[in-house]
Structure 1
Amino acid sequence: MKTVLKISLLAATTLAGTPLYAQSQADAGYEAAADENVIIVTARKKEETLLDAPLAVSVVGEQELDQAGFTDITEITKVTPGAFVEAGGQNTNGFARINSTPRFRGISVLSGNPLQQTASVFLDGVYLSGGVETIGVNELQRVEVIKGPQSALFGRNTFAGAINYVTKDPSKEFRVHLNATAATRDEYSIAAGVEGPIMDGLSFRVGGSYSDKQGHYDNVAVAGQRLGDEQQWSINGTLLIEPSDRFRLKLRASYQEIDDGPAAAVASYGTAYHNYGGFLLNPDGTVDLNDSVQPAPLDGTRTESVYRGQIRMPTAAEIGLNSSFADIQAFRGFLNDARYDPTDAIFDFKYNPTNVDEFGLNLDALRLSAAGSVDLTDNIEFSFLGGYNKENFGFFADFDTSPDASFTGFTARETEDYTIEGRLSGSFLDDSLNISAGASYVDIDIAELGGVANFFSFPIFFDDIFRSTPFTSGAKTLGIFGSIDYEFNDQFSITLEGRYQEDEIRAGDVNAGLATPISPAKITAFLPRATLRYQPTNYTTLYATYSRGNLPGGFNPEVAELDAAQLAELTSKAPGASPVFGEEKLTNYEIGWKQQHPDGIFAFNMAAFYMQRSDEIYTSIVTIADTLPNAPNPLRTVNFVSNGATSDIYGIEFDAALNISENFSMQGSFAYIHSTIASFPEIGGTGDFGDIFGSAADVAGQEAPRFPPITISLGTTYEDNIDAFGDMFDRWFFRTDLFFTGEYYVSNANVARVQPATDVNLRLGLRGESYGLELFATNLFNETAPTTAQNFADTSFGTRTLPGGFFDFSREGSRVGLRDKRQFGIRLSATFK
C-alpha cells in the first residue's frame, strides 16, 4: 500500500523533491522501496512522487525526526544541504531562543526584524512572523525545507527559501502516545498525546509536552547559576472533519510558554586578542600590550582593532554573565525617574522591565489555524486556509556578555499576524494540463522596546534607545498568484508560475515632524518562476528552473525631513537616496538531477545554481549644507539606506541514500556555496569592513558572513530482528550521525572566523509495534566550536582607553554561542491502541 503524504495547501504547488531522509530503512524496505512505500504528493492536483516534482527541497519525515532525535530547526537543517540556522544568533541586545532565522544558499541577513527576513517559516501553510526555534517536533508529521526563491507562490519573506512544518493528522483509530527522555547534565522531557475518532467523519488529537534542561556552563560572575537553562511546556489540539471524500477541514490550536535562564553565550574578549588593526606585534607574534592601550591606526586604512583568525573560545574562568537580580534592580532604578510614568506604553507589554525578575527569555505563543478543501467537480478543487498567531516575549540579558559589570539590556516584543488564502485548482485534457489560481492576504503588527544601561563611573541610561513609547511597525501583503503546468508527453513538461504582490509597509513614528508623511508606503512586484522538466525514465528527473524573489524595502526618515534644496544636494552626491528605499531582488538559475534505483537500492538529489542578488541595500552617511535658519552648524549629516549593491552566489547541493543490504543503510548530504559581494556603491557604508579598513577600501570580493561554505552530514543505520523480548520488542538498531559545519566569517571584514565543527551522535535501542527503548550519546567527542558568533564591540574592562576610563568602542570582539557538551541519555516510548 502506498504512503500518501499530502503537501500543505499553501505549498501545494511548490514543494517537491526526493525525500531521502524520509525514506529510512523502515520506510522503504530494501526490496520494496520502489513499489510499496513510494511517497506521493498531490502538489499539482494529481498524484506524483516527490521524485517527479522539479524543485530543490529536503523533506524530513516523522520517522526520521524521531529516529535521529531531532528537537528543533537548528538540528533539522544539519541534514538539509543549502540551509543553515544559528541558534539564538540574530538579536542585538543579547542571545535568546528568538530570531533564529533560517538562511539559505549564502544569503545573509543582519536584521532581527521579522519584516526584513530573507526566509520564512510556515506552520501547516500559515505564515509565522514570530520565533521558529521554539517550535517542537513532537506533533510534526514532516518538515519541508525548500531552497531558492519561493516568492512566486509563498509570497512575503521567501526571498531565499522557506520552511514548512506540517503537523500530524488525527488517527482514525484510538491511540495513546507517551515519550519520555532523560539525559546527563539534568535534562528531562515528556510528551503525551491522545487521538482517535469521535464519530464518522470527525476525529481529534490532543497533545502536550514539557521539557527542562539545565545549562552546561557555570556562570563565574553569579555563584550557583548555570548558563543555558531552558524550560518550556506546550499544549495542542486538532480536529479533522471529513464528512465525505470531497470535503476536508483541519482545525488546530496550540499554546506554549518558555521560561529560560541566561543564555549560554559569552564574549571572546580582552586586549591580547586584538591582533589586527591599529596594534603592533612583538617579534614573537604576541600583541604589544603597551601599544594596545593607545593604538595608532594606520592612516586611511585600519581604523578599528579586531581579532584575525579563528575565534578563541573562552576558558571556564572567562565564561560569565552579570545576570543577578541586583543587576535587574539597578536597571529598574533608571526607570524610576520623571521620564517614565506608570501609564507609559512600556508597561502595557506583557513582559516588561518591571515584572520580569530573572535573566533569560520569557515567551508565550498562541497559534490558531484552519485549512480545508472541497471538490467542486471531479477535476476542480477549491482549497483555503486561515491562521492567527500571537507571540509575546521579554528578557534581560548581559549586553556585553562578559563577567565585567558593564552593560545590561532588556528587550521585549509583541507580534500578531493574520493569514487568509484561497485557491482554485483544476486538471484538464486527461490530466496533462493543470491550472491553479488564488489570492492571499497577510497582516503583521509588531511592537517592541529595548534599552541598555551601564553601571560604571557614573550611570548612563540610553534613553534614546529605551523610550517611554515602543517602536511599532507592520505590513499588509496582498498576493494574487497562479500556475500553469502542461505535460507535452510522458517525458517533457513545463510549469509557469507567478505572483503579483503588493506590500504596504508601515512604521509607527516615522512620520513625526514630517510635513509629508511617508508611512505607510506601498511596494509592488511581479515574481515569476519557470520550470522545464525532462524524465527519460520512470526513475530519473532532470529539470531547469528560473525564479525571482523580492525583499520589501523600508523608510528613511532623515531623508524625508529635508527641504527641496537639501534633497537636491543629497541626490547629487548619492543618486537614488529617497524617503523610502526599494526592494531587493534575487534571480535564481538552477538545474537539478534526481535519480532512484528501480529496486530502491539508492537514490540521490543534486542541484547546481547561480543566483544574483541585486538592488541590495546598504547604509550611508552623507554631509550636506544645513539650510535651516539659525542652524547651529552650517553642515548636517544624513543617515539613510539605499539600494545598489550586488552579490554573486553559486553552489551545489547533494543528498543521497543507499541501502547496502536489507539491514544496513546510509544517507548523507553535501553542500558547497560561494557567496561574494560583486559591486558596492562608492558612497555606501560598508559596516565592519569600512570600520576596519577605512572608507577608501573596496569591499567587492568579500565573502558573505555567517554562512558556512561547506556542510556535510553522514548517517548510518543497522537494524535487525530480535526475538529475546517476546512481543515487546522485535527489532534492534544501531545508528550513527555525523554533522560537519565548515568555518565561516563573522562579518564582511573577513578577518575573524568561526572554526569548523564536527558533531557525532550515537543511538542504540530496541523497537516494537508498541514500545521503544533507546540509549544515546550526543556530541560524543565533545566538540567545543561555537554554535554562532556575532561581531561586537569589546566592552571588557581590559580594553578601555585608560584604566577606569570610558570604553573604546572601536575595539571589536565577538559574542559566541556555547555548544552543548557531551551527553548520555535514555528514551522510552509507548503507543497504546
Structure 2
Amino acid sequence: MRLNKQYLASGAFVALATMLATPAFAQAQPQGQTAADDTPAAGEIIVTANKREQSANSVGLTITAASGESLITRGVSGPADLAKLVPGFTFTQSLYSTPVFTLRGIGLYDATFGAPPSVSVYTDQIPRNAPVMSDALDLDIERVEVLKGPQGTLFGQSSTGGAINYIVGKPTQDFHAGVDASYERFNRAEIGGFVSGPLGDKVSARLAVKTVTGGAWQRSLSRPDDHNGDARKLMGRLTLDIRPSEKVKIELMATGSRDQSDPLAPQYAGTIYNIYGSQAQLTASKNPFGYVDAARYAQFTTPGQAGYSASFLGAQSTLVTRLNGTDAAVAAGARAVLGTRISNDPRDAEWTPGLLGKSDNSYYQFAGRADIELTDTITLTSVTALAKQKLAYNQDLDGTVARVVDVPLNGNVRTFNQELRLAGNTDKLHWIVGGSYDNVRTEQNNFFRLNDYSGNLGLIALTLNNYTSRLRSYGVFANVEAEVVPNLTVQGGVRYTNTKQSATYCYNDPAIDTAQGTAIIYGSALNSVPITIKPGECFPTTGDLLLGTAKSTIKPVNSDLGEDNVSFRFGLNYKFDQGTLLYATVSQGYKAGTFSAIGASRVLQYTPATQEKVLAFEAGFKAPLADRKVQLNAAAFYYDYKDKQVRGRIADPVFGLLEKMLNVPKSYIFGIEGELVVRPVDGLTLSGSATYLKAKVTSDYAKTPDGQAVYNAAGYTGNFRDSELPYTPKFSANADAQYEFPVSGNLNGFVGGTLTYQGRQNTTFNNAALPAVDFNIPGYATLDARMGVATADGRWRATLYGRNITNKAFTTAISTYLDTLIRYRGKPSVYGASVAYRF
C-alpha cells in the first residue's frame, strides 16, 4: 500500500522516475538480463513493434498485446472485439458493411471496398491493405499487438492512428495438433484446429482450418419467422518453414477463406418526414405517423436556417400523397417509410423480403518471407504478398420492407506488396534500412433500387455506380536505435513515400427502355435542360442543373492524384535498473489521399480528399513492480491533426444531401491512458485499462475549397469549429479478472469476467450550430463471464461462457441515407460452451 500511495501522489514523470530508481524499491534482474537488455523476462510478452522481437517493457511505444489464449478467454475473435482489450479503439461498420477502425480518435469512415485505412492491419507484418480484407484474422493466432500512435516510419502511410499486427501460429519441429470447438445461443457453432510438424530435415509445416455456422440473432419486425445473421464461413492457412541452411530461413504462407454469411440488417430509427410545424398541418396531412416539433420543422423549412432543405416539403408531400393514394403497392412503400415501428430490442430489424441472405465473399493471400543472415549481425529480409478480396452481397439501407435504398454490391480488391530491408543488430545498436512497394486495385459496383424513395418522381428506379481505382505507393525508410549511455536509448526513423492514384466513375441507368434506346433524365423535374443518354452511358454532369447549363459527361469520369510525404519518429527511452522504462516520442505520420465510391449527379462530387497529417507528441512509462507481480503503464499524448479525411455531405440538386470526401483543415486530440495488471496471490490476475480523449475541430470550416456548403449527417450546415471528432468516445475502459485454483492432482478450475465500457460518442460532426442529437450513440457497458476446468499441463480445457450477460441494448453505428434514419445494434446476451484439446 505504501508504494501505491507514492505513485498516486506523484504528478510528474520526473518524480516517478526518482521513486522507481530508489534502491529501496529496486527489484532483482532476471538472471542473464541487464537493465538495458530488451530480452523478455519470464512471463513477459514479446512484441515486434520495431520489426524485431523485444520485450513489450523495452519498447518506447504504447502497446496492447495479448496471447492467443487470452483472446479466446475474453471472446475476442477479430478486430470487431478488440475494444475488450484496447481502450480508445472503436469498431463500427459503414453503410455497406465495410469495417471501420478508429484508434485514439483517428479513423476513416468510408464504405469503399479498397479505402486505405487510418489504422492498418497486418498478419506477421504482411499488410491487409483495406479493412474489408479482414477474413481469417482470428485463425490460429499466437498473439495480437496493437501499436498506438503514428507508425508510418516502419509500417507505412496508412497507420496515422496506429497498427494492428496479428502473429499467427508457426510450424514446429515436433508434431503438435489441436482442436477448438464451441456452441452457443442462436445455434452458432464453430470448430477449428491445426496440425504442425516436420516434413523432413529442413522443412516443417502447419495447417490450420476453421468453420463457423449459424448465429442468426436478428428477426424481422413484420415477419417473426424471418431471421438474419447466420454465419457461413470456412477458412484455412498452410504455412511452410524451409531452412535450406543455417543462414537462410524461408517462410511460405497461403491463406484462403469463403464467407457466405448474412449481411447485418439495420434497425429503423425514424424519418424526419413525420415532423410537422403545427397540429393543424399534421391533421391536414392525414399522416397517422406524424408528430409536431415546431422548432425543428422551422429549421427544415425556413430559407437561411442552418438546417434548411429545399427538398423537405416536396419529399414530405410526396410520401403522404403516396400513403393516401389508391395504388396499394405504392401506399405500402410509403407506409413502411413513415410507419415502421421503432424498437429498442436489438434483435428487431427490418429489410426488404428476399433481399438479404447469403453473401458470396472470398479471400486469398499468398505470401513469402526470406531471411538471409549476411553476417553474424546483419540480416537481409524480403517480404512479398499477393492477395484478392472478392465481395458480392446485398444491403438494405433504409431499415424497412420498402425499396427506398436497396443496394446489391459486387467488386473486388487486389493487392501486391513487396518490402526489402536490411537490418543490423548488436548489443548497443539496432538499425534498419529498406524500401517498399504497394499496388492496390479496387473495383466496386453499387446498384441502387430506389422505387419507394421520396425523390423518385419517375426519373430513375434502378441506377448503377461503377467505380474503379488504383493506388501505387513507393517508400524508402530507415530506423536506428542506439544506447548512447548506459540505460539511455535514442531512437530515430524516417520514411519517404510517393503515391500515385487514379479513379474512374460512371453513374448510369442499366434499365433504360431498350426499345427506345435512350432516356431523358433530369429535365422538367429540375427546370433544367433535358439530357439524353443511352444504356450504360454516364449521367453525372458538369455545369449547373438548376441554371440549365448542365451537360452530361456521357463517358466515365477519370481523376488522378499524386502526392508525396516524409514521416518520422524520434524517441528517447530510459530504463532503470529495476526494469521501469520511461519514454518520450515525437512522430509525424501521413495517410494518403483517398477517392471514394460515391454516386452523384455532378462531377465535382468525385474530387478526392487529399492526404492527412498527424504530428504526435507522447510520453509515458512502463513499470514492472513488486517482483513483477504488478505492471503499471501510463501515457499522455497530443496530436496536431491536419486535413482529417471525412466522408461529409454536400447538397445534390437531384438526390438531396449526398456524401463526398472532404478534408477538415485542423483538429487536435489530447489523451491520457493507463493500464494496471496485478497478481496479488497465486492464480489471481486482475487487469484494467482506460483511455480519456478530447478531440475537436479547431479551424473554421463551413465550405469546400470550391465554395460548396458542407453539411453534417443531420442536414445542418455552418461552422464545424469545436465539433467533436466522430466515433471518438471521451472515456473508454475495460477490466478483467481471472482466478485459477486446483481441483485435483492435474485439474484446475477457473472463473473470470470482463467488463467493457464505451463512452458516449457522436457519429457526425456536432456542435451548437450543427445539432445532431439523433446521431449520438449513448455510452454503454457490457459484462462477459466465464468458468470452467482445465488440466494443469494445458492439454485440454472446457469452458462455459456468457457474453453481454446483462443483455445490455447498445448501438454501434447510426447513419442516414435519403429518407430514413438507421442504426446498427450490438448482439444481445449470448451463452455458450467451448472445449479445446492439444495433442
Fold equivalence (TM over 0.5) = yes
Aligned partner of 1:382 in structure 2 is: 380
Go from structure 1 to structure 2 and tell me whether the alpha carbon gap of 1:223 and 1:499 turns closer, same or farther (over 3 Å shift): same
Q: Residues 149-168 of structure 1: matches in 2 within 5 Å? A: 149-168=150-169
Task: Give 1:653 deviation, angstroms.
Answer: 1.5
Report deviation, 1:299.
4.8
Q: What TM-score, normalized to structure 1?
A: 0.77
The CA RMSD measured in Å over matched residues stands at 3.9
Shift of 1:291: 6.1
Asked if the contact 1:708–1:743 (Cα under 8 Å) also holds between the matched residues in 2, the reply is: yes
1:767 CA drift (Å):
0.8
- 8 A Cα contact 1:772 1:828, kept in partner: yes
Change in 2 beyond 3 A, CA 1:507/1:276: farther
Kindly provide the CA deviation profile for residues 624-643 of structure 1, in whole angstroms up to 9, marking residues without a partner as x: xxxxxxxxxxxxxx998665
Q: Say if 2:110 is the partner of 1:104.
A: no
2:51, 2:150 → 1: CA distance?
A: 22
SS at match of 1:648: strand
Q: Gaps spanning 5+ residues in structure 1: where? A: 1-28, 307-311, 329-357, 563-569, 571-576, 624-637, 796-812
C-alpha displacement of 1:434: 2.2
Return the match for 2:780 from 757, 765, 778.
Answer: 757
Match in the other structure for 2:749: 732
Distance 1:275 1:122, change over 3 A: farther
1:76 to partner: Cα distance = 2.2
Task: Quickly say closer, same or farther: Cα 1:43–1:471, change in 2 above 3 A.
Answer: closer
Q: 1:540 to 1:275 in 2, by over 3 A?
A: farther
Partner residue in 2 for 1:258? 259
Kindly provide the amino acid, as one letter, of the partner of residue 790 in structure 2. R
Q: Is the deviation greater in 38-47 or in 599-608?
A: 38-47
1:707 corresponds in structure 2 to 728
Distance 1:234 1:782 in 2: 30
Matches within 5 A, 1:662-811: 662-684=682-704, 687-689=710-712, 692-694=715-717, 697-723=718-744, 730-749=747-766, 750-752=772-774, 753-768=776-791, 769=793, 770-795=795-820
Counting only pairs closer than 5 Å after superposition, residues 213-292 of structure 1 correspond to structure 2 as 213-222=214-223, 224-270=225-271, 289=291
The runs of 5 or more residues in structure 2 that have no matched partner are: 1-29, 34-38, 284-288, 313-340, 507-537, 539-551, 653-657, 767-771
Instruction: State the TM-score, normalized to the length of structure 2.
Output: 0.76
Check if 1:535 corresponds to 2:552.
no
The offset of 1:686, in angstroms, is 6.5
Residue 405 of structure 1: how far off its partner (Å): 4.7
After superposition, what is the alpha-carbon deviation per residue over 1:746-768, rounded to whole angstroms, capped at 9, x for unaligned?
21134231112211111111111
5 Å matches for 1:815-826? Answer: 815-826=822-833
1:450 and 2:431 aligned = no
Taking the TM superposition and a 5 Å limit, the aligned residue runs for 1:340-739 are 359-427=357-425, 431-456=427-452, 462=460, 465-467=463-465, 470-509=466-505, 519-554=559-594, 582-597=610-625, 599-617=627-645, 643=663, 645-684=665-704, 687-689=710-712, 692-694=715-717, 697-723=718-744, 730-739=747-756
Measured after TM superposition, the shift of residue 513 of structure 1 is 6.4
Query: Whole-Å Cα distance in 2 between the matches of residues 269 and 40 of structure 1?
Result: 49
Distance 1:202 1:461 in 2: 64
What's 1:342 paired with? none
SS in 1 for 2:76: coil
Cα distance in 1 for partners of 2:269, 2:82 equals 28
**AA paired with 2:179?**
L
Q: Residue 567 of structure 1 corresponds to which residue in structure 2? A: none
SS in 1 for 2:572: strand
Paired with 2:346 and 2:497, the residues of 1 have a C-alpha distance of: 53
Distance in 2 separating the partners of 1:435 and 1:37: 27
Deviations 1:604-626 (A, max 9, x none): 22111100111345779799xxx
Q: 1:84 aligns with which of 87, 90, 100?
A: 90
Q: CA-to-partner distance for each residue in 1:510-538, whole Å, 9 max, x for gaps? A: 99969999754321111111111122334
Aligned length: 700
The amino acid of 1:377's aligned partner reads T
Q: Which residue of 2 aligns with 1:296?
A: 298
CA separation of 1:464/1:737 partners in 2, compared to 1, >3 Å: closer, same or farther? Answer: same
Assess if the C-alpha contact under 8 Å between 2:217 and 2:347 holds in 1.
no
Change (3 A) 1:304 1:816: farther
Which has the bigger relative contact order, CA under 8 A and spacing at least 6?
Answer: 1
> For 1:57, which of 56, 59, 63 is the aligned residue?
63
* 1:295 Cα deviation after fit: 3.2
CA distance in 2, matches of 1:816, 1:660: 43
2-side partners of 1:786 and 1:759: how far apart? 12
Alignment-mate amino acid for residue 63 of structure 1: E
SS at match of 2:811: coil
More deviation, 296-305/448-457: 296-305
Q: Relative to structure 1, is the Cα distance of residues 402 and 304 closer, same or farther in structure 2, using a 3 angstrom cutoff?
A: farther
1:321 corresponds to which residue?
350
What is the rounded CA distance, in whole Å, between the counterparts of 1:824 and 1:68 in structure 2? Answer: 13
Would you say the 8 A contact 2:102–2:727 is kept in 1?
no
CA distance in 2, matches of 1:46, 1:583: 29
Contact 2:669/2:695, CA 8 A, preserved across alignment = yes
| Alpha-carbon distance in 2 for matches of 1:661, 1:639 | 55
Correspondence 1:190 to 2:182:
no
Which digits, 9 at most, give the CA deviation of each residue in 1:566-600, with x for residues without a partner? xxxx9xxxxxx997763221111111111101511
User: Per-residue displacement from partner, 1:262-306 (whole Å, max 9, x unpaired)?
Assistant: 414212115698699999999xxxx98256799333553342699
Q: Write out per-residue CA displacement over residues 433-471 of structure 1, whole angstroms, 9 at most, x where no aligned residue.
A: 22210001010000000021133498868579515xx31
Give the deviation of 1:43 after TM superposition.
6.2
Q: Which amino acid aligns with 1:182?
A: Y
The 1-side partners of 2:291 and 2:52 are apart by 70
Match of 2:58, SS state, is coil
Is contact 2:470–2:503 with CA below 8 Å preserved after alignment? yes
Identity of aligned residues (%): 21
Alignment-derived partner of residue 17 in structure 1: none
Q: Tell me how far apart the structure 2 counterparts of residues 201 and 265 of structure 1 sit (CA, whole Å).
A: 52
Residue matched to 1:15: none
Which one-letter code corresponds to 1:670 in the other structure? A
